[in-house]
Amino acid sequence: MRLLTIEQEPRVQSLIRHHASCRWPNAEVVPYAPAERGAIPPEFLAQGYDAVLLSQSWPGGDGMEWLRDLANRSGFAPVIFMLDKDAPRAREAALGWGAFAVVCKQRFAHAELIDGIERASHRHRLAMAEWRVSEEARESHRFGDAHIPGYRRARLLARGSVSHLYIAESEKADGLVALKVTPSQRDDSGIDQSFERFLQEYEIAERIQHPNIVRLHELGIADDHAYLAMEYFPLGDLRRRMKTGLAPAESLRYATQLANVLGAIHEAGILHRDLKPGNVMLRTEQQLAVIDFGMAKQAALQMELTDKGLIFGTPHYMSPEQGHGQQLDARSDLYSLGVVLYEMLTGEKPFRADNPMTVLYMHRNTPIPRVAPELATLQPLLDQLLAKEVDDRFADATEAAQAIEAVREQWLQRTG
C-alpha cells in the first residue's frame, strides 16, 4: 500500500501512518506539506500511489480548491478528502467535486479510514491495469526513440545537442522527476560513453549525499538509450531567479550555499568544472541544489594525454587557467563561484564579448570590473574570488564560505 498525504500537521500525518500500518505493516505513507511545497504540478497524476489523502485546510490553503483541480485530472489517483470536522454540507460538497471518499480527521474512525483506502486502492489498481495495456500508456512511456517502462512522459523540458530532458512521473519516486535521455555512443572498445557519463553523475551524487546536491533516483538503459532520473525542480534554475532581481543579502546567502557544496564536492576529490546559474536549481526559494556533473573530473587522477590543452566548461564562467587548458585545482571552481556571485549582485557577467575566445582572453587579462558604489563593500570579496592568479584566491571552499557568510552578516548589520 502506497499513500500520498497532503497534510500540513505532523500529528495528523503520524495518525494516518499509524492507522495504515495497523492494516498494512509495510505501508508507505509519503507526506506532502502543502504550505512549504506549494501546488501540485499540473503534470502530476499520482499514478504510483494507491490513494491520495487530502486535507480540507492548512494555513493559507484551501483543500477544496485543490480537490477541484486534482479530481478533474484524467487518470489521477482516487482522492480521500479529510474534513477538519464533520460537517454534512462540506462532506456533500467534497463528494460533489470528485472525492472518492470523505473522512473526518478530528477523530479518525479506523474502520472508515481503512475501508476508504482499500476501496480506493482496488478501484485505482483496476484502472491502472486497464490503462497499462492501452495505446495511450505505451505512447506515454516513449521518450524520443526510447521506450522506458516505469515512467510516464509529461512533457519535453529541454532539447540538447546530445541529451533530451523530460518531465516524467515515476511509479517509484515521490512525484515528478526530470529524465535525461541520450542515445548510446560507443567508442572503439565498445564502451557506452553515454552510460559512462551518466554513471559518473550518478556515482558522484550518491557518494557525496549533500543537501545542496541534486537527488538522483535511477540510472538505466532502454532501447539503446541511456537515461538518468533525477529530482525535478518546478522553481527552475538560478538564472530564472536572477531575472526577477536578487537583493545583495540573498545573493550572498546563495553564494554561501554554493561554496559549502563545492567544499563537499572537493572533499570527495572532485572538481565540478562547469558551475554556472543554469546548473544551480532552486529546491525552494531558500535552498539551492547543484546539478550536472557531466563535466566533473576526479581531481586526484592525472589528466590523460588526450585531455591536455582541451577546454571544458562554459566560457563566461571559466577561470583563466581553465580557459587556457591548464592544470586545475579546487580554486578554479571558486573563480566560477565569483562569476556567479558577481552576476547575482549586478545582473551582468563580469566579462562579455560576442566571441567566446575574447571572453577567455578577458578572464586572463582584463581587470576585474568594479561594482556600483552602493556595493563597494563587497568588492574585496569579489576581488579575491575572481583573482587572476590561483594563489591569490581563497585557499579552499570552506574558507570562501566563511568569508562570504561573514560579509553577509556585516551587510545585514549595516543595512538593517
Map grid coordinates 536578487 to a residue: 246
Cell numbers that stand for 183 in this block: 542515445
Q: Nearest to residue 311, comparing CAs of 293, 323, 297, 328?
A: 323
Non-local (6+) Cβ contacts of 49 within 8 A are: 2, 3, 4, 30, 77, 124
Q: Are 100 and 119 in contact (CB under 8 A)?
A: yes
For residue 288, the cross-strand partners are 282
Map grid coordinates 512522459 to a residue: 153
Q: Are 168 and 179 in contact (CB under 8 A)?
A: yes
Non-local (6+) Cβ contacts of 311 within 8 A are: 318, 322, 323, 324, 325, 360
List alpha helices for 180-326, DSSP H. 193-208, 238-243, 248-267, 320-323
For β-strands 142-143 and 146-147, DSSP reports them as antiparallel
Non-local (6+) Cβ contacts of 119 within 8 A are: 100, 101
Instruction: Compute the half-sphere exposure of residue 183: CA atoms within 13 Å on the CB side of its CA.
Output: 7
Strand, coil or helix: what is 337?
helix
Cell numbers that stand for 233 in this block: 525542480
In angstroms, the CA 284 to CA 287 distance is 5
Torsion of CA 243, 244, 250, 252, to 10 degrees: 20
Residue 42 is classified by DSSP as: T
Residue type, 229: A
Q: Nearest to residue 49, comparing CAs of 138, 165, 158, 169?
A: 169
Strands of the sheet with 79-83, listed across from one edge: 28-32, 2-6, 51-55, 79-83, 101-104
Could you list the active site residues?
Answer: 274
Strand, coil or helix: what is 340?
helix
